[in-house]
Structure 1
Amino acid sequence: MQHTIRFFSLFFLLVVTLFAVEKPKLLTPEEAFNVTATHSNQGVMINVTLGEKIYLYDDKISLELTQPKTLDMTQWVERPKAEYFHDTLTQRKSFELFVPQSLLDNEVKKGSFTLRFSYQGCSEMGICYQPMTKEFTFKLKGGSATPLSEQDTIAQSFMSGNSALVLLSFFGFGLLLSLTPCVFPMIPILSSIIVSQPSVSMNAKKGFWLSLVYVLAMSLAYTIAGVLAALFGANLQASMQNPWIIGVFSAIFVLLALSMFGFYELKMPSFIQNRINKKTGEAQAQGVFGIAVMGFLSALIVGPCVAAPLAGALIYIGQSGDALLGGSALFVMSLGMGVPLLLIGTTAGRYMPRPGMWMQNITAFFGVMLLGVAIWMLSRIIPSFVSMSLWAVLIISSSIYFGALESFSEQTKGWQKVLKSILFMALVYGVALLVGFLSGATNPLAPFEKFTAKEGVSASTSSTLFTKIKTIEELNLALKNAEKPVMLDFYADWCVNCVEFEQFTFSDARVKAKLEKFTLLKADVTKNSDDDKALQKAFTIYGPPAILFFKEGKEVSELRLAGFKNADEFLAHLEKVGM
C-alpha cells in the first residue's frame, strides 16, 4: 500500500511539474516590435526595441518622409551593421535611427512633417510577422535648425541632388586649397621633373601634358584614399606616414637632387635604354609612367591634409555609401588643387632656358628645392632640433654655392646684384638658423625664440597647454572630470596644418587667453595605432587636423573644425558660438 501511494505521489508531482514548465510564448506584434520616436532640437530619434529572440530583415527596413513631400531617407540614416542569420542579413539587437534636424530643415522648411518607418521581422520560433509600418508626425517651426559645422554643411550640399553644382563647388574648393601648404611641396617635385627633361624637346605643350599626367595621378590617389577612408575607415594616407616609407621617399629625393647637381646621371643601363629607344612610343610611355607614379605617391606621402571640403565629402560617402558622387567630388577637387601645378609645368616648358651656365644654375636650384622637400618630410620622423640643423646647413651651403659671398665685377648687371642681395639675405637667415639650433630653438620660422620669448615661454610650448589622451576610455574619464568646457585637438606630426595650428594659432597670446576657459586635450594620432584609429572612428574623424568641443560631456557638433584656421579666424569661430 505504501508503495502504491508513493508511486501515485511521484506520478502526480511529475505531471504537475510538466504542466508547470512555462512554454515559449508567441509574442504579439506589439510585444515583438516596440517602435517609438521623439523629436528634439537635434532631430528625430527612432528607437526600435526587439523582443526576446526577435529579429528584423535588414533589407525590409526603410524610412520615408511622406509629408509634406515624399522622400526615401533610408540611405541618409545610419543603422548598425547587419549580421547573417539563416543566410539572411538581419538586425538581431535593438537599435536607434537618428534623423538630423539639418536634414529635416533642408527638406521640410517649416510646418508639420510625417516619417514612415517600415519593417518586417520573425521570431526564432519559426513564426514570421506581416510587414508593418509606423508613422510619426511632428511639427517643425521655421528657423529651428541647429547650427552646422562647416564640413557638415558641405556634406548636406550633396543631398541637393544637383550633381553638376556639387562638382563645380568642389573644383572651387580645390582652387582655394591649392594655396595651402599641402600643395606647395609638390611644386619643386613637378618643376624638377620638367627641368630634367631634354631642353631641346621641351615646349609649352609637352610641359602641360607632363604636368597633366602628374596632376591626374595625384587626383587619382586622393580619390582612392578618400573613398577607402570613408567606406572602410582605412586611411591610406595615414598608413603611408610610416617612418620607413618617409625615409625611403626622402632618400629618393636626395638622390634626385644630387643628380641635378651633376654628381652623377640617373639613367637606365645602356643596353636596356638602347632597346627601348628603338620604339619612341615605348620610351615616352616609360617616362609618362614614371611621372604618374611620382604624382600618385606625392599625393599620399607629401601632402596628407584634411580640410572642411574633404571632410564633408568623406562624411557624405560614409553615411550614404555613394562612392560615385563623393569620389567624383574628391577627384574634381584634386584637379582644382592641381591648377597651379599645371600653370607652373606649362610655363616652365615654354620658358625653358637654353643649355649653358644659366640652365645649370636653374637645375641646381631645383636640386636645392628637392633637398628642402626631403628635409621637410624627414622633420615628421626626426627630432625637431635635427631638422633645424639640416635647414641651417642646406640654406647656408646653397647660398654660398650660388655665389652669395662672391664679389661684384665690372660686368655684373643690375639684376645679378639684386639676385646676390637675395642670396646674401638667405645666408644671413641660414646663420640665424644655426644660432637658433645652438641655442636650443626648434622652430625654423622663429630661430631666436629662446631669446625673444617672454618669461622664458616660447611659441612652441603651446602644446604643453594640452593634456594628451590616447584611448576612448581616457577621453571619457577626462570629460567626466572636466570642470570647464573641453576642446579636443586631433594632431599628427606629419600633418602640415596641425603644425601650423601649433606655431601660429595656439601660440597667439589672444588665443591662449581664450583657451584658459577650456580644458584642453590632445589626441596625437601620428603613429596611426589601433587606439588612434578607434578614437578617430568614434567621432567619424577621417584625419587630422580636427578640433572638437564638448559641454557637459557631450560634443557640440556645430563647433567642430576641420582644416587650418589662423588666430583671427579661430577667435572669430569661438566668439561666433559664444565660447
Structure 2
Amino acid sequence: QSGAISARRGFTLALSYVVGMASSYAMIGILVAAFGAQLNIGALTQTPAVIIGATLLFIFLSLPMFGLFELQLPAAIRNRLNDMQSRQKGGALLSTFVMGFFAALVVSPCVSAPLAGALVYLSSTGDVLTGGSALFAMGLGMGGPLLLIGLSGGKLLPKAGTWMLLIKGAFGVGLLAVAISLLDRILPGQIILLLSGALAIGCGVYLGALESSADNKARLARIIGILSLLTGAGWWLGAGMGNDSLLRPLAISAGPAVVSAHAGADHVVVDSRATLEKAIAASAAQGRKVLVDVYADWCTSCRDVDRLLAQPAVVTALSGYDVIRFDITEGSDDQTSVLADWQVFGPPALQRFDQQGLKQGAAIQGVPAETELIDWL
C-alpha cells in the first residue's frame, strides 16, 4: 500500500489474513467431524491442473516485480475502487481474508503429525462445533508470527526509498521460488533441481557476479551473487548426476540409496483396494509382515519418507517386512475409502500388518524420526 501504514492497520490486515487461513482449517475440521476421512480435500486441491494454474499465477505475479510491466486495474475501475475504499475503513480486508483462506488449502496440503492427530480425534467425535472451533484455534496459533509482523509494519520497516527496488526484486525471486516448489509436486526432482539452479544463477548474474566494481555496496552484492551463481551451478551438476536434493545435490550415494529402498524385489506399488488386499494376502501367505507406505506424487513430505526408508538402520529393521506403496495420487473414492478405514487423512503415512495380514494398531502419520520408526517397526 502507498503511504504510511500504522501499526493498527498492519495488525488489522495481518489479522484478516490469519482469520482467513484459520477459517479454511475450520472448514476442514467441520467436514472431517461430519463425514470422517471420506473427504480427501488435500487431493482435490493438489491435482495437476490446480498446481499448474497456481504456478502460472505466481510466475505472472513475479514479472511486475522485475519491471517488465505494471500490474494494475484499468483507470476507470481503479478510480471507482479508490472512491469506495475512501468511504469504507478496511477496504482490503475481504480480499486479504480470501488470500489467507485459499493459501491454507493450496500451499500446505501435506498432513503433519499434529494435524493428523487432531483430525483422528475429530472424526471419532462427530462433533461439528468442536471440529470447527479446534482447527480454527490451530489456524490462529499458526498465524501468531504473522500478527507480530503486521503489528510492526508501521514501526520497524524503514522509510520508502531506492532500497525498495531491491525488495521488489527479492519478492519477485520469492514468487518464482514458490512456483518451483509447487511444481515439485508433479515434476521429477532432477527437473526441480535444474529450475532451482536456473533461478539461482539468474540471481547471481543480476547481483553482478560477472562484473567488477570498486563500490563497497556493489562488492557485497557481487559476493552474494557469486555464492548464488556457485549454488546454481552445483544444483545443475547435481541434476546431471541424477540427484534430486537441494541440500545435498552432489551426494554420490543419495540417488541410488533411494532407488534401492523402493525398487527392491519385495517392493510393490498398488493404487486400489483390491490390489492392496491381494498384495497383503500374498505376503501373509509367505509368513511375511507388511509395511504399507501411503504415497502421492503431489506430497513433498513423501520424499522425506523415501529417504528415511533408505537409511541403513531402517533397512535393517525392515528385513522382516514386505514394503507396499499405496499410491493415492489420483484420490479416487476407492482409495479414500481405504484411508477412512485406517483413519488416515492423507500422505505421508505408514501402516503395519502382521504375518496373518491383520492391521496392527494406528498408522504413523507424517514423517517420523528414524529412532521412532525403528521402535515402531
TM-score when normalising by structure 2: 0.89
Q: Deviations over 1:320-357 (max 9, x none)?
A: 21111122111111111122233344445533333333
Residue 26 of structure 2: which of 191, 199, 223 is its match? 223
Is the contact made by 1:501 and 1:566 (CA closer than 8 Å) also made in structure 2? no
In structure 2, how many angstroms separate the alpha carbons of the residues matched to 1:360 and 1:211? 23
What are the within-5 Å matches in structure 2 for residues 88-487 of structure 1? Answer: 197-198=1-2, 200-232=3-35, 233-281=38-86, 285-347=90-152, 349-409=154-214, 411-412=215-216, 420-449=222-251, 452-453=252-253, 457-459=256-258, 461-465=260-264, 466-482=267-283, 483-487=287-291
Is the contact made by 1:253 and 1:373 (CA closer than 8 Å) also made in structure 2? yes
Is the contact made by 1:486 and 1:521 (CA closer than 8 Å) also made in structure 2? yes
What are the within-5 Å matches in structure 2 for residues 501-516 of structure 1? Answer: 501-503=305-307, 505-516=308-319
Find out whether 1:541 has 2:340 as its counterpart.
no
Letter aligned with residue 278 of structure 2: L
Which runs of 5 or more structure 1 residues have no equivalent in the other structure?
Answer: 1-196
Cα gap change, 1:405 to 1:517, in 2 (>3 Å): farther
Which runs of 5 or more structure 2 residues have no equivalent in the other structure?
Answer: none
Q: Secondary structure at the match of 2:158?
A: coil
In structure 1, how many angstroms separate the alpha carbons of the residues matched to 2:245 and 2:133? 38
Q: Deviations over 1:197-240 (max 9, x none)?
A: 32x22243332222221111111111212332342222223211
Is the contact made by 2:29 and 2:122 (CA closer than 8 Å) also made in structure 1? no
In structure 1, how many angstroms separate the alpha carbons of the residues matched to 2:249 and 2:148? 34
Q: Identity percentage over the alignment?
A: 36
Cα gap change, 1:206 to 1:529, in 2 (>3 Å): same
In structure 1, how many angstroms separate the alpha carbons of the residues matched to 2:8 and 2:17? 14
Letter aligned with residue 212 of structure 2: S
Deviation at 1:460, TM superposition (A): 5.4
Is the contact made by 1:492 and 1:544 (CA closer than 8 Å) also made in structure 2? yes
Deviation at 1:550, TM superposition (A): 1.2
Letter aligned with residue 475 of structure 1: L
Select the structure of larger CA radius of gyration: 1
Cα gap change, 1:218 to 1:380, in 2 (>3 Å): same
Q: Deviations over 1:59-91 (max 9, x none)?
A: xxxxxxxxxxxxxxxxxxxxxxxxxxxxxxxxx
Considering fraction of residues, name the structure with more strand: 1
Alignment size in residue pairs: 369
Deviation at 1:471, TM superposition (A): 1.9
Q: Secondary structure at the match of 1:212?
A: helix
In structure 2, how many angstroms separate the alpha carbons of the residues matched to 1:541 and 1:251? 32
In structure 1, how many angstroms separate the alpha carbons of the residues matched to 2:144 and 2:263? 39
Deviation at 1:562, TM superposition (A): 1.2
Find out whether 1:556 has 2:360 as its counterpart.
yes
Residue 295 of structure 2: which of 483, 486, 491 is its match? 491
In structure 2, how many angstroms separate the alpha carbons of the residues matched to 1:489 and 1:349? 48
Partner residue in 1 for 2:326: 523
Q: Secondary structure at the match of 1:446?
A: coil
Letter aligned with residue 16 of structure 2: V
Q: Deviations over 1:478-530 (max 9, x none)?
A: 22222322111111222232222223x22322222222221111111122123
User: Which structure has the higher relative contact order (CA within 8 Å, separation 6+)?
Assistant: 2
Cα gap change, 1:383 to 1:282, in 2 (>3 Å): farther
Deviation at 1:567, TM superposition (A): 2.4
Deviation at 1:382, TM superposition (A): 2.6
Give the RMSD, CA atoms, in angstroms. 2.4
Cα gap change, 1:440 to 1:307, in 2 (>3 Å): closer
Q: Secondary structure at the match of 1:312?
A: helix
Residue 500 of structure 1: which of 301, 304, 321 is its match? 304
Stretches of 4+ aligned residues off by more than 4 angstroms: 281-286, 416-420
Q: Deviations over 1:511-552 (max 9, x none)?
A: 222222211111111221233222212322211121111112
TM-score when normalising by structure 1: 0.60
Q: Secondary structure at the match of 2:291?
A: strand
Cα gap change, 1:345 to 1:518, in 2 (>3 Å): farther
Is the contact made by 1:443 and 1:460 (CA closer than 8 Å) also made in structure 2? no
Q: Secondary structure at the match of 2:5?
A: coil
In structure 2, how many angstroms separate the alpha carbons of the residues matched to 1:249 and 1:282? 33
Is the contact made by 2:197 and 2:232 (CA closer than 8 Å) also made in structure 1? yes
Residue 373 of structure 2: which of 565, 570, 574 is its match? 570
Letter aligned with residue 360 of structure 2: V
In structure 2, how many angstroms separate the alpha carbons of the residues matched to 1:342 and 1:285? 16
Is the contact made by 1:468 and 1:523 (CA closer than 8 Å) also made in structure 2? yes
In structure 2, how many angstroms separate the alpha carbons of the residues matched to 1:506 and 1:568? 12
Letter aligned with residue 209 of structure 1: T
Considering fraction of residues, name the structure with more helix: 2
Cα gap change, 1:458 to 1:347, in 2 (>3 Å): farther
Deviation at 1:281, TM superposition (A): 4.5
Deviation at 1:282, TM superposition (A): 5.9
Deviation at 1:305, TM superposition (A): 2.5
Is the contact made by 1:230 and 1:542 (CA closer than 8 Å) also made in structure 2? no
